[in-house]
């Protein structure tokens, strides 16, 4: 969209000049997210920015300068720049709009030189290539791609898909690749037959039926959200309560980038016990249309749909064709909640949906995610509440029943047992209050505060810096000047290790890491070395003790562990092969036999118990101010207790990588992803 060699796009310019780029590894993705927003919404609001960057991570900046720069594209900008939100510019007479001319240079005493930004004009954007709009020949063809390990089918009719699935029942169907892609890349699953089904018309359509809205299984979550918005606007509130709960939950489902490709059917079939949407589908009794070469059948999603962890009632040769989400009724109320560690782009700890109809011969349905290996429906609790008045006594009975009906074992996957159990109770309490409020029941201010919806607030920020005297105008120190690499990072022209072309005869290394916390070990790389393209295996036996050097801030990390590992993830050895994927595959094939040792020390209490302390700290850090014992002795009151703070480490977006190029005289030229080149050189 722009280049240092030609002209910067306004998005790239504002990213760089607003100090939104530091290490720059995330910058191209953030630039393209903003560019995409402007192409779809030329006059966005701050709420649009919030949604757009749900799926973008930035380790360095904390987002503040990115938002500061990009909010200048929004309609809210004029209000946000006002000091008192009264429409008067905080710069007063120095407002850029009152200036008769534009300075030709950046004002280095202004953090973000908004008056220097190139104006954005959506009419100047290039049009989408017309030939791509009409060139749909390949989209209408049934395609097959094949290599030595994988066969990839792309059928274009439902009949072809069902026939393929009958012949290849073990084949994985791929829609957005948001789940299978993760399984292949990070869980090292192998699926030799894959079927891409997103181009099949029957799976990609949305229609209105008598019972509700019918979504094809390949419809993306973004499209689902847009359809729900239109239905909520067009129909009475009493008919769209399920739609409203589903729409709200979709907002918290991953990030916008994932929702643009993730399909509604893929979410169902994946069967994650912490799915954001499946509790809603079960509580609302959504109807699935299932197809195979034998015909089509319809089933209601209920407590029997998931048989075990990520296992459904679908037969191997069956495919989900559509999902029908029903309309709600006049006296029907529906609530859904999710609790995660972060608001955006995070998986649920526990989620919940409840469906209540205040009519005779109806039933209540509750569905919990994160409380077992599948979505849990507490039938006893539903039965306890059925036929009773919606009051505090009924709530208390429901909470008592939930305590018994949703027990988590102490070793349940995911941990946080007590917290998850308390969340299930708090969700039930919140649903009680929300439904009571909809029934015009009396709630006090404290109770009403528990059901207040989350309100997005426009972020505000400020940064203080010194304004230099006029005599020091030529000095760069202290001025808010964009760093030298910001422009090329914003254009994607900055080169990182992985951007460099391969050298001739380049080999790649895959690491063998410890899976035990405290153990001795033996390694057998023979199976790995049999693979074509694998050159050698390295371990501590292959390098001299002086080269197996001590690294790290405390000089206590070796390149290869020799005999005993003291933590998971320590490097035991390495495979050298002709490609990165081959090296990593071979590294996983190295057989490591452990003899576990005791004690395993993982807490401060363990260290105290076994008197395990560092005694050779190079630069000990001591907090000391006055006489602590004397201060306690003279204190009127002494409060005892403990406070814990978990260790934190930066989440580096650029993977650790190094390229070593042999040179003459036994020299090595090193290209390294590091923020400390001096330490690397030493």
Predicted local distance difference test score (pLDDT) of residue 8: 94
R_g of the chain computed on alpha carbons? 30
319-326 vs 365-369, strand pairing mode: unpaired
Instruction: Indicate if the pLDDT at residue 564 is higher than 90.
Output: yes
Instruction: Indicate if the pLDDT at residue 95 is higher than 60.
Output: no
Of residues 482 and 41, the one with the higher pLDDT is 41
Q: Residue 401 phi/psi, 5° resolution? A: -65, -40
Predicted local distance difference test score (pLDDT) of residue 83: 47
Q: Which of 23-32, 395-404, 408-417, 552-561 has the lowest mean pLDDT?
A: 552-561
Predicted local distance difference test score (pLDDT) of residue 130: 82
Closest CA to 494 of 138, 115, 24: 24
Residues 243-262 have a mean pLDDT of: 95
Instruction: Indicate if the pLDDT at residue 351 is higher than 70.
Output: yes
Mean pLDDT computed over every residue of the chain: 89
84 confidence band (pLDDT: 50, 70, 90) = very low
Instruction: Indicate if the pLDDT at residue 472 is higher than 70.
Output: no
CATH number for the 205-449 domain, one of 3.40.50.720, 3.30.465.10, 3.30.450.20, 3.40.50.300?
3.30.465.10
* Residue spans in the chain of domains classed CATH 3.90.1170.50: 506-613
Residues 145-168 have a mean pLDDT of: 95
Place of tokens 């009493």: 238
What CATH number does the domain located at 136-196 have?
Answer: 3.30.43.10
Q: Residue 642 phi/psi, 5° resolution? A: -140, 155
DSSP 8-class letter at 288: E
Q: Name beta bridge partners: 560.
A: none
What is the token pair recorded at 400?
A: 């008592």
Conformational region of residue 137, where left means phi above 0, alpha means psi within -120 to 50, and beta covers everything else:
alpha
Predicted local distance difference test score (pLDDT) of residue 461: 74
Neighbouring CB atoms inside 10 A of 170's CB total: 10
Of residues 547 and 538, the one with the higher pLDDT is 538
Residues 119-136 have a mean pLDDT of: 84
Burial class (CB in 10 A: 0-12, 13-18, 19+), 540: middle
How long, in residues, is the chain?
682
Which whole-number Å values give the CA distances from 400 to 358, 370, 380, 600, in the listed order?
22, 19, 11, 39
What is the token pair recorded at 525?
A: 């790389």
Predicted local distance difference test score (pLDDT) of residue 88: 52
Q: How far apart are CA 29 and CA 51, in angstroms?
A: 15
Which residues, at least 6 apart from 218, have a Cβ–Cβ distance to it below 8 Å? 175, 197, 198, 200, 203, 204, 263, 265
Which whole-number Å values give the CA distances from 223 to 26, 132, 230, 256, 561, in the listed order?
27, 22, 11, 11, 52
Residues 271-282 have a mean pLDDT of: 97
* Residue spans in the chain of domains classed CATH 1.10.150.120: 10-126
Which whole-number Å values give the CA distances from 287 to 217, 321, 367, 397, in the listed order?
12, 11, 16, 31
Residues 123-129 have a mean pLDDT of: 87
Look at domain 506-613 and name its CATH class: alpha beta
Express each pLDDT in 494-503 by its tens digit: 999 989 999 9
Predicted local distance difference test score (pLDDT) of residue 89: 54
Express each pLDDT in 297-338 by its tens digit: 999 999 999 999 999 999 999 999 999 999 999 999 999 999
Of residues 575 and 621, the one with the higher pLDDT is 575
Instruction: Indicate if the pLDDT at residue 449 is higher than 50.
Output: yes
* Residue spans in the chain of domains classed CATH 3.30.465.10: 205-449
Predicted local distance difference test score (pLDDT) of residue 308: 96
Predicted local distance difference test score (pLDDT) of residue 104: 38
Express each pLDDT in 170-183 by its tens digit: 999 999 988 998 89
What is this structure's pTM?
0.87
Q: Are 291 and 314 in contact (CB under 8 A)?
A: no
User: Taking each helix axis from N to C terminus, what angle separates 417-438 and 392-405, rounded to the nearest 10 degrees?
Assistant: 150
Express each pLDDT in 1-16 by its tens digit: 999 999 999 999 999 9
Instruction: Indicate if the pLDDT at residue 378 is higher than 80.
Output: yes
Which residues, at least 6 apart from 551, have a Cβ–Cβ distance to it below 8 Å? 557, 558, 559
Instruction: Indicate if the pLDDT at residue 102 is higher than 70.
Output: no
Instruction: Indicate if the pLDDT at residue 134 is higher than 80.
Output: no
Predicted local distance difference test score (pLDDT) of residue 465: 67
Highest mean pLDDT among 198-202, 351-355, 542-546, 651-655: 351-355
What is the percent of the chain where pLDDT is above 70? Answer: 92
Of residues 48 and 648, the one with the higher pLDDT is 48
Q: Give CA angle at 110 (105, 116), nearest 5°.
A: 40
Q: Which of 120-129, 478-487, 532-541, 582-591 has the lowest mean pLDDT?
A: 478-487
Predicted local distance difference test score (pLDDT) of residue 613: 86
Predicted local distance difference test score (pLDDT) of residue 100: 47
Instruction: Indicate if the pLDDT at residue 210 is higher than 50.
Output: yes
What is the token pair recorded at 661?
A: 């190029």
Instruction: Indicate if the pLDDT at residue 276 is higher than 50.
Output: yes
Conformational region of residue 295, where left means phi above 0, alpha means psi within -120 to 50, and beta covers everything else:
left
Instruction: Indicate if the pLDDT at residue 101 is higher than 60.
Output: no
Residues 460-481 have a mean pLDDT of: 70
Predicted local distance difference test score (pLDDT) of residue 468: 65
How is domain 10-126 classified at the architecture level of CATH? Answer: Orthogonal Bundle (1.10)
Instruction: Indicate if the pLDDT at residue 665 is higher than 90.
Output: yes
Instruction: Indicate if the pLDDT at residue 85 is higher than 60.
Output: no
81 confidence band (pLDDT: 50, 70, 90) = low
Neighbouring CB atoms inside 10 A of 597's CB total: 14
Q: How far apart are CA 483 and CA 104, in angstroms?
A: 19
């Amino acid at each position: 969209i722009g280049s240092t060699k030609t002209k910067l796009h306004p998005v790239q310019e504002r990213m760089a000049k607003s100090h939104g780029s530091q290490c720059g590894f995330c910058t191209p993705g953030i630039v393209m997210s903003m560019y995409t927003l402007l192409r779809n919404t030329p006059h966005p609001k701050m709420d649009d920015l919030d949604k757009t960057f749900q799926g973008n991570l930035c380790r360095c900046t904390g987002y503040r300068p990115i938002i500061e720069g990009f909010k200048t594209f929004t309609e809210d900008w004029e209000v946000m720049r006002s000091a008192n939100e009264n429409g008067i510019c905080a710069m007063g007479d120095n407002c850029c709009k009152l200036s008769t001319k534009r300075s030709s240079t950046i004002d280095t005493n202004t953090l973000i030189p908004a008056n220097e930004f190139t104006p954005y004009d959506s009419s100047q954007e290039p049009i989408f290539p017309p030939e791509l709009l009409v060139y749909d020949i390949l989209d209408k063809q049934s395609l097959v791609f094949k290599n030595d390990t994988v066969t990839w089918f792309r059928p274009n009719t439902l009949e072809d898909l069902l026939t393929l699935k009958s012949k290849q029942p073990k084949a994985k169907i791929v829609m957005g690749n948001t789940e299978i892609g993760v399984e292949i890349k990070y869980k090292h699953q192998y699926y030799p037959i894959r079927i891409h089904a997103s181009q099949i018309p029957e799976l990609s359509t949305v229609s209105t039926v008598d019972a509700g809205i019918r979504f094809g299984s390949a419809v993306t979550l973004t499209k689902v959200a847009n359809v729900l918005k239109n239905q909520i606007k067009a129909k009475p509130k009493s008919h769209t309560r399920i739609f409203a709960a589903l729409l709200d939950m979709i907002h918290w489902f991953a990030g916008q980038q994932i929702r643009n490709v993730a399909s509604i059917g893929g979410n169902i079939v994946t069967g994650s016990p912490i799915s954001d949407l499946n509790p809603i589908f079960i509580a609302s009794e959504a109807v699935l249309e299932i197809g195979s070469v034998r015909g089509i059948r319809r089933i209601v999603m209920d407590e029997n749909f998931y048989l075990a962890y990520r296992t459904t009632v679908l037969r191997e040769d069956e495919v989900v064709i559509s999902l029908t989400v029903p309309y709600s009724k006049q006296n029907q109320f529906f609530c859904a909640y999710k609790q995660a560690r972060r608001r955006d782009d995070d998986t649920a700890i526990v989620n919940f949906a409840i469906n209540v109809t205040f009519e005779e011969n109806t039933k209540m349905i509750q569905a919990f995610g994160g409380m077992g290996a599948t979505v849990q429906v507490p039938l006893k609790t539903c039965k306890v509440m059925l036929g009773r008045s919606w009051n505090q006594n009924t709530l208390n009975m429901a909470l008592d029943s939930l305590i018994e009906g949703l027990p988590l074992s102490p070793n349940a996957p995911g941990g946080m047992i007590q917290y998850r159990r308390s969340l299930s109770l708090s969700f039930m309490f919140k649903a009680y209050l929300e439904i009571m409020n909809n029934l015009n029941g009396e709630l006090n201010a404290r109770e009403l505060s528990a059901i207040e919806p989350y309100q997005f607030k426009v972020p505000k920020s400020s940064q203080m810096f010194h304004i230099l005297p006029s005599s020091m105008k030529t000095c760069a120190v202290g001025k808010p000047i964009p760093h030298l690499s910001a422009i090329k990072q914003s254009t994607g022209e900055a080169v990182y290790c992985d951007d460099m072309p391969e050298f001739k005869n380049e080999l790649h290394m895959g690491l063998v890491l410890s899976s035990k916390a405290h153990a001795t070990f033996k390694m057998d790389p023979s199976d790995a070395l049999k693979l074509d393209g694998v050159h050698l295996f390295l371990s501590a036996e292959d390098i001299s003790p002086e080269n197996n050097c001590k690294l790290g801030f405390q000089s206590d990390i070796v390149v290869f562990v020799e005999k005993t590992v003291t933590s998971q993830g320590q490097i035991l050895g390495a495979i050298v092969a002709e490609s990165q994927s081959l090296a990593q595959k071979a590294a996983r094939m190295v057989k490591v036999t452990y003899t576990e040792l005791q004690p395993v020390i993982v807490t401060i209490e363990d260290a105290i118990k076994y008197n395990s302390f560092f005694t050779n700290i190079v630069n000990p850090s001591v907090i000391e101010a006055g006489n602590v014992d004397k201060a306690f002795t003279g204190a009127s009151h002494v409060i005892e207790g403990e406070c814990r703070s978990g260790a934190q480490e930066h989440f580096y977006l650029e993977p650790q990588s190094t390229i070593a190029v042999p040179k003459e005289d036994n020299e090595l030229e090193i290209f390294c992803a590091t923020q400390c080149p001096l330490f690397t050189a030493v």
